[in-house]
Structure 1
Amino acid sequence: MKSIFGLLLVVSLCTIQASAQTKVTFNVNLKPMLEDSSFVPGKHVLQVKGDFFPFTATTRFEMKDLTPKDSVYSVTLTFPRRFTNKMLTYNYVIRSISGSEMNEFLPRQLDLKGREVELPPFYFDSFPN
Structure 2
Amino acid sequence: MNDVIMIVAGVSYSSKSCVISCFDSTVDLPILQIGAHASQVIKELLNEGFEVYSTFGNGNSITYLLIREEEDPPSDGILAGLVNRINTLITVFTAAGAESGTLTMIGTDFIELQGLNGDLILIPAVSILAYI
Q: TM-score, normalising length from structure 2?
A: 0.21
Rg comparison, structure with higher value? 2
Q: Which structure: greater strand fraction?
A: 2
Q: TM-score, normalised by structure 1?
A: 0.21
**Relative contact order, CA 8 A, sep 6+: which one is greater?**
1
